Structures are given as C-alpha cells and as structure tokens.
Amino acid sequence: MILLGIDPGSRICGYGLIEAQKRVITAVGCDVIDVRNIVSLPKRLSAIFDSMESIISDYKPDAAVVESIFYHRNAKSVFTLGQARGVIFLSLGRHDIPVFEYSPREVKKAVVGNGAASKQQVRYMIEQQFKLKGSEKPDDAYDALAIALCHFYKLRYIK
C-alpha cells in the first residue's frame, strides 16, 4: 500500500509518500510543490493541481492523507488555504483515491507522542523513523511524511 501524505498550502505544499508492506514502512519520497514565485492565485492553484496530477501519475497511491485546516487569525489565509485544498481534493477525486484527514494535533500526537510538539520534534522523529538524517528537504515535506505515517499508525491499530 502506498500512502500519499499532503501538507496543503497555497504557496508551499508538502507531499510525502510511504509504502507499507504489512508492518514494514518505507519512505518512498517527499518534497514540496513551491509556487511562491507565481503571483496570481488562479495560476498558483493550477500549478498545484498539475503537480498533484503528476505525483499521482508517477506514484499511483492507494490512499491520500491530508492535514485538516487549523484556524488562523487571518480569515483571508484560511480561504486561500481552502482553495488550495480544493484543487488537491479535485485531483485526488478524479483518480478515485480515498482521502483521510487528520488535524495537526493528531499528527503530532501520533508521530511524536505529544500533540503540542514543535516542527523540529516532528522532523527529528521522521528522520529517525525513515533514516533521513542529513536530508535537506523542507519541513513541509517532512510534515507530509508525518501525516502519512499518522494514518499508517491509525490503520495498524484498527486492524
């Protein structure tokens, strides 16, 4: 089973893929979709959609796991993030990929053991789990791996 974890963003969107074979998990890859240099929101959303289509085509995930929205003080940021999530969900839906959602707190609790963990703690645990020490991938890519790992842990306990 290949799980695609997504840390959605309207400027930087992290993605990470893990492969689960029984109880053994491997990081297949992780990176970010960086659209900060695109000024127009519609063009950024289009670029995110195109990148998602390419990732899905390349890796053929069995399921996707998306971090849910946490509320900012800035309502405009929440709406923009919602639009980015919309194009991500559109891409996943077009390929009939089941989608699961977890809050940032749930992800941190599952991966670190503390729902209030820092980004550095999440990164450290992902580096340890997948032996990625020294990788220069952005935090958003590691967060996406953590999101996928959270779902793997939930699946393991459900069965």
Residue 73 token pair: 């003080």
Question: Could you say which of 31, 34, 62, 67 is catalytic?
Answer: 67
**Amino acid letter, residue 62:** D
Report which of 23, 99, 89, 29 is spatially closest to residue 58, judged by C-alpha positions: 29
Residue 136 falls in the annotated catalytic set: no
The answer to whether 19 is a known catalytic residue is no
SS (H, E, C) 65-76: EEECCCCCCCHH
Burial track 2-27 (b if 16+ CB lie within 10 A, e otherwise): bbbbbbbbbbbbbbbbbbbeeeebeb
Report d(CA 33, CA 89) in Å as an integer. 15
Q: Does the annotation mark 143 as catalytic?
A: no
Which residues are identified as catalytic? Answer: 7, 67, 140
